[in-house]
Amino acid sequence: MAGFWSARKREREELASHDAQQGQRADAALVAVDERVRTTTDELVFAELELGRDATRELREALAAVRHHLGEAFQLNQLNHDHLPDTADELRTRNARILQLCDWAQDLLDDRLQALAEPISRARRAPEIVAGIRADVASGTARIPRAEATLARLGARYADEAVRKIARNPAEAAQLLEFAIHGADVSAARRESGQREQANLALETAIEAARRATTLLDAVDAFEIEALRAESTLDAIVDDSRDDLAAARDLVHVPAVTAAMTALEQELAALAPAGTRPDPFAELTRLREANAALDAAVDKARYRATHPAPPESHVRHAIEDADRQLGVARGVISGHRGWIGADARTRLAEAERLRLDLAAVGGQPIVEDDRERALADARRCGALAAEALQLAQRDIDASRPRDDDWGGPGRGGQGGRGQRGGNDVLGGILGGIVIGSILDGIFD
């Protein structure tokens, strides 16, 4: 007993120590967040000078929300230190709420300040950024004649359709470079006149214009390399396609292979002849598609040669057998509705669902690609119906009254004969289904 009270005393001391530490953390958190609000207010003033009021609206709204909710935190803290006695649960709840509000305020201010960090840094480095934009414009302007020469060389080598997507890149890059230098000049002028927000907007547009101009010029240089790579790949695919055509000659009796070979031969014949301007990208795309179609047709034909599809008559026999077994199972289960358990009804429902999937076959011819799946579904349907019938027989036997209930062992002759007669009838049904399945397998 002494050990029990000692443990209770130790628990109370640990809880009191935890509550005291929680109160100290709440006081420290309030002091820290109050200091954070003051420093963030100063940063807001500097950010408004750098970016303008519109750019700092979210930070200003966050500060207003923090001040509003900190009023609640300070009120709770005052209740903790007034002259009125409080219970341990009240102190614990207040301190937890104070810590929650302080953590929320710190996270909110961190998020808003982090969002402004990059714009503020860019605004403070505005002179350096403007100098970088001017350098990029000078470098891009020097690249334009080279890009025009590259474009003329590409136009003489490749078809107009191939170079159309980069045909206006040098001209558009020149316009963007002019816009970038104009934006840099406007940004510098607005910053000198104290219009920081307009200066930052002009600076951002100048940065974007210079970046887009560089991207357009890079695309011209990259196009030449990509075109050479496409030509090299095209030559390899032409050789591979010819080899595939030769290898597929032994399957010309398959209509799908013949059609794919014809399409591939047409694409090979449609390649730009020597001395003309080709479009290597379009030719490569069309030839790849035709080559892939031939590979798929050949693979399918070779698989079908080693794994022939079952005859349609086999599939029809399997479906008819499934229908017979479904009919018997459906009749037995519906005729003994109150006696049949969930297992038999579930198997019958699964068989019915498979039969609905097979209903799409109907009286239409079954294509070779669908026969294997249809045959498997039909056999599965018949197996589920047979299993449902067996489970139903088990439930019926379990629900039928025993001989003892009809007058004891001495008077159970007729009852026994009646039970055996019912079993004989259901056994005859099962035997007929099994014989029908065997005969179908023999004829198949």
pLDDT value of residue 404: 52
Picking from 42, 55, 40, the residue whose alpha carbon sits closest to that of residue 195 is 55
pLDDT at 432 over 50: no
**Exposed / middle / buried, residue 394 (Cβ in 10 Å: 0-12, 13-18, 19+):** middle
Query: Which of 58-72, 143-157, 350-364 reaches the highest mean pLDDT?
Result: 143-157
Rounded CA gap, 97 and 260, in Å?
73
pLDDT category at 371 given cuts 50, 70, 90 is confident
Rounded CA gap, 370 and 357, in Å?
12
Q: Determine the residue type at 304.
A: R
Structure tokens at 360: 């799409």
Q: What is the mean pLDDT of the chain?
A: 81
- pLDDT > 90: what percent of the chain? 34
pLDDT value of residue 373: 86
Tens-digit pLDDT profile for residues 39-73: 888 878 877 766 767 777 888 888 899 988 888 88
Rounded CA gap, 379 and 376, in Å?
5
pLDDT at 18 over 80: no
pLDDT at 8 over 80: no
Least confident of 163-172, 214-223, 413-422: 413-422
Q: How many CB atoms are located within 10 Å of the residue 252 CB?
A: 10
Residue that the structure tokens 């003033």 belong to: 45
pLDDT at 285 over 60: yes
pLDDT value of residue 406: 45
pLDDT category at 230 given cuts 50, 70, 90 is very high
Picking from 117, 135, 129, the residue whose alpha carbon sits closest to that of residue 191 is 129
pLDDT at 193 over 50: yes
pLDDT value of residue 260: 93
Least confident of 65-79, 128-142, 371-385, 414-428: 414-428
pLDDT value of residue 9: 55
Over residues 261-288, mean pLDDT: 91
pLDDT value of residue 198: 81
pLDDT category at 402 given cuts 50, 70, 90 is low
More confident residue, 248 or 200: 248
pLDDT value of residue 362: 63
pLDDT category at 303 given cuts 50, 70, 90 is confident
End-to-end CA distance of the chain: 85
Q: Determine the residue type at 403.
A: D
pLDDT value of residue 441: 45
pLDDT at 223 over 90: yes
Structure tokens at 83: 């002259």
pLDDT at 430 over 60: no
Over residues 108-121, mean pLDDT: 83
Query: Which of 194-208, 340-354, 430-444 reaches the highest mean pLDDT?
Result: 340-354
Cα radius of gyration rounded to whole Å, the chain:
43
The three-state DSSP-derived secondary structure of the chain is CHHHHHHHHHHHHHHHHHHHHHHHHHHHHHHHHHHHHHHHHHHHHHHHHHHCCCCCHHHHHHHHHHHHHHHHHHHHHHHHCCCCCCCHHHHHHHHHHHHHHHHHHHHHHHHHHHHHHHHHHHHHCHHHHHHHHHHHHHHHHHHHHHHHHHHHHHHHHCCHHHHHHHCCHHHHHHHHHHHHHHHHHHHHHHHHCCCHHHHHHHHHHHHHHHHHHHHHHHHHHHHHHHHHHHHHHHHHHHHHHHHHHHHCHHHCCCHHHHHHHHHHHHHHHCCCCCCCCCCHHHHHHHHHHHHHHHHHHHHHHHHHHHCCCCCHHHHHHHHHHHHHHHHHHHHHHHHCCCCCCHHHHHHHHHHHHHHHHHCCCCCCCCCHHHHHHHHHHHHHHHHHHHHHHHHHHHHHHHHCCCHHHHCCHHHCHHHHHHHHHHHHHHHHHHHHHHHHHHHHHHHC
